Amino acid sequence: MLQSLPKQFFAALVGRAALASAAGHDVINLGQGNPDMPTPDHIVEALQAAAANPLNHKYPPFRGHSYLKEAVAGFYEREYGVVLEPEREVAILFGGKTGLVEVVQCLLNPGDTALVPDPGYPDYWSGIELARAVMERMPLTAANGFLPDYGSIRPEAAAAAKLMFLNYPNNPTGAVATEEFFRKTVQFAEEHGICVVHDFAYAAIGYEGRQPLSYLQTPGAKDTGIEIYTLSKTYNMAGWRVAFAVGNPSVIESLNLLQDHMYVSLFGAVQKAAATALSGPQTCVQENVARYEARRNILIGGLRELGWKVEAPGGSFFAWLPVPEGYTSQSFADLLLDEAKVVVAPGIGFGAYGEGYVRVGLVSSEDRLAEAVKRIAGLKLFV
Ligand SMILES: Cc1ncc(COP(=O)(O)O)c(C=O)c1O
């Protein structure tokens, strides 16, 4: 079965960028989705204090500390007006990625169908393959605002589907969901008995003052699914591996049950720091979003000045750029690496509907992004 796991497409990209750096080139790496700023001090300090507390040197409770689940519930009520029962509607996860893979093992048997966005985050495929389930791709196109069109899903696939992954703000397209789309999602999921797993990894990152919607704000959402929220991006905590799932109590119970057999929850000090992040001051989040927005404006504004017709993302820290005539996503990414020493992710790595685009991460400073624009200008592609 391990042989059938999808190839980690982006490992090759990381390798090529490393080679170019090792050869002495000044490479601007905009290919990955790793936040470039450190975790805010007050969160690091909470970890340091908690690490010194012998209570955290013991096994934590199997399903995580109650104080963290209560902090999650408080966070959802404060941010989204969504009320959660901490012990029944919250599961603590070792990062969002783990939860996304686990939930498929919980809900699908071999041969069952899962609906996945295309382009989409490749870890959805990994979980589906591990469960020996079948994947039905939902195209995300510019014409539909990069939202799936439920009317165009094959009726046999809709009838067979048991699970659907969604992700807004979206990686890789930067699209955000609307209330109407989430209402249609609940309706479609109810009609076909599908569990919706909304990957809310970029929850905090919405532009022009708009806070991205939680799926759980939609009436009926809790009956039809869960949302997975990671602290990786909101609080620059990607290395800490802490996230949580919230929503439908029966799905939450399944996740907890599976995890009872795999882990004894996260290091207590990480749980303490996560609770501090969720309940403490949120100015660090606002600063983070403002920083990404300034970078977005520099990149998009700069590229438009070159004559490249690009859309600004509504959320996430990615820009999804159509490749110029005559290139594939791979050949264009190769050109940028070879000629401008700028690394971008070819859209094909996110699925067949990613062809024709490259993804650029806003995970470098304004200066570096401006420098990337300057180098791209030097290629004279858009004159
Ligand atoms: C769309 C999406 N979902 C989930 C994740 C996983 O985040 P983590 O495992 O750090 O919680 C990422 C990380 O890049 C992502 O881009």
**Please, is 111 exposed, middle or buried when counting C-beta atoms within 10 Å of its C-beta (0-12, 13-18, 19+)?**
exposed
Atom of ligand 1 at shortest range from CA of 100 = 4
Rounded to the nearest integer, the mean pLDDT of the chain is: 96
The per-residue pLDDT for 12 is 80
Tokens of 78: 């404060």
Q: Residue of the nearest CA to atom 14 in ligand 1?
A: 33
pLDDT higher than threshold 90 for residue 59:
yes
Contact criterion met (CB below 8 Å) for 35 and 49: no
Establish whether residue 318 lines the binding site of ligand 1, counting it when its CB lies within 6 angstroms of any ligand atom: no
How far does Cα 46 stand from its chain's mean position?
25
* pLDDT for the residue 1: 75
User: Tokens standing for 379?
Assistant: 């290629």
Contact 375, 342 (CB under 8 A): yes
Section 169-185 average pLDDT: 98
CB 352 within 8 A of CB 118: yes
Q: Given a cut of 80, is residue 220 above it in pLDDT?
A: yes
Judge contact between 13 and 343, C-beta under 8 A.
yes
pLDDT of residue 254: 98
CA of 309 to the centre of ligand 1 (A): 28
Distance, in Å, from the CA atom of 295 to the CA atom of 179, rounded to the nearest integer, reads 27
Which pLDDT band holds residue 3 (cuts at 50, 70, 90)?
Answer: confident
Tens of pLDDT, residue by residue over 243-278, are 999 999 999 999 999 999 999 999 999 999 999 999
Q: What is the pLDDT of residues 272-286, one digit of tens each?
A: 999 999 999 999 999
At 208, phi and psi to the nearest 5? Answer: 55, 40
Cα 234 from Cα 25, distance rounded (Å) = 32
CB 363 near ligand 1, within 6 Å = no
Contact (CB, 8 A) for 248 and 223: yes
Asked if 292 and 362 count as a contact pair (C-beta separation under 8 A), the reply is yes
| Atom number of ligand 1 nearest to Cα 231 | 11
Exposed/middle/buried for 274, CB within 10 Å: 0-12, 13-18, 19+? Answer: buried
**pLDDT tens for each residue of 135-146:** 999 999 999 999
* Percent of the chain predicted with pLDDT > 90: 94
Quick one: pLDDT at residue 5? Answer: 79
Q: 32: pLDDT confidence band, cut at 50, 70 and 90? A: confident
For 11, the 3-state DSSP assignment is: helix
The answer to whether the pTM exceeds 0.75 is yes
If we measure between CA atoms, which residue out of 179, 153, 148, 181 comes closest to residue 165? 148
Is 271 touching ligand 1 by the criterion CB < 6 Å?
A: no
**Burial group, residue 212, by CB count within 10 angstroms (0-12, 13-18, 19+):** buried
- Say yes or no to pLDDT of 15 above 90: no
Does ligand 1 lie within 6 Å of residue 232's CB atom? yes
DSSP 281: -
Say how many Å lie between the CA of residue 235 and the centre of ligand 1.
13
Between 231 and 32, the more confident residue is: 231
> What is each CA distance from 153 to 10, 75, 251, 254, 348, in whole angstroms?
28, 35, 24, 28, 21
- Please give the Cα distance from 372 to 136 (Å, whole number): 37
**Mutate which of 97, 104, 146, 199 to test ligand 1's pocket (most atoms within 8 Å of Cβ)?**
97
Mutate to test the pocket of ligand 1, among 176, 199, 226, 270 (most ligand atoms within 8 A of CB): 199
- Do 369 and 137 meet the contact criterion of CB atoms below 8 Å apart? no
Give me ligand 1 centre to Cα 376, in Å. Answer: 28
Q: Which one of 94, 123, 316 would you pick to mutate in the ligand 1 pocket, going by the greatest count of ligand atoms within 8 A of its CB?
A: 123
Q: How far is the CA of 31 from the centre of ligand 1 (A)?
A: 15
- Spatial contact of 375 and 341, defined as CB atoms under 8 Å apart: yes
| pLDDT surpasses 90 at 302 | yes
What's the 240 CA to ligand 1 centre distance in angstroms? Answer: 12
| C-alpha dist (Å) from residue 343 to 35, 50, 310, 358 | 16, 39, 18, 10
295 lines ligand 1 (CB under 6 A): no
Q: Quick check: CB of 234 below 6 Å from ligand 1?
A: no
Query: Strand, helix or coil at 123?
Result: helix
Residue 29 CA to ligand 1 center (angstroms) comes to: 18
* Mean pLDDT for the stretch of residues 185-204: 98
- Model confidence band, residue 221 (pLDDT cutoffs 50, 70, 90): very high
User: Phi/psi of residue 135, each to 5°?
Assistant: -110, 130
Q: What pLDDT does residue 29 have?
A: 94
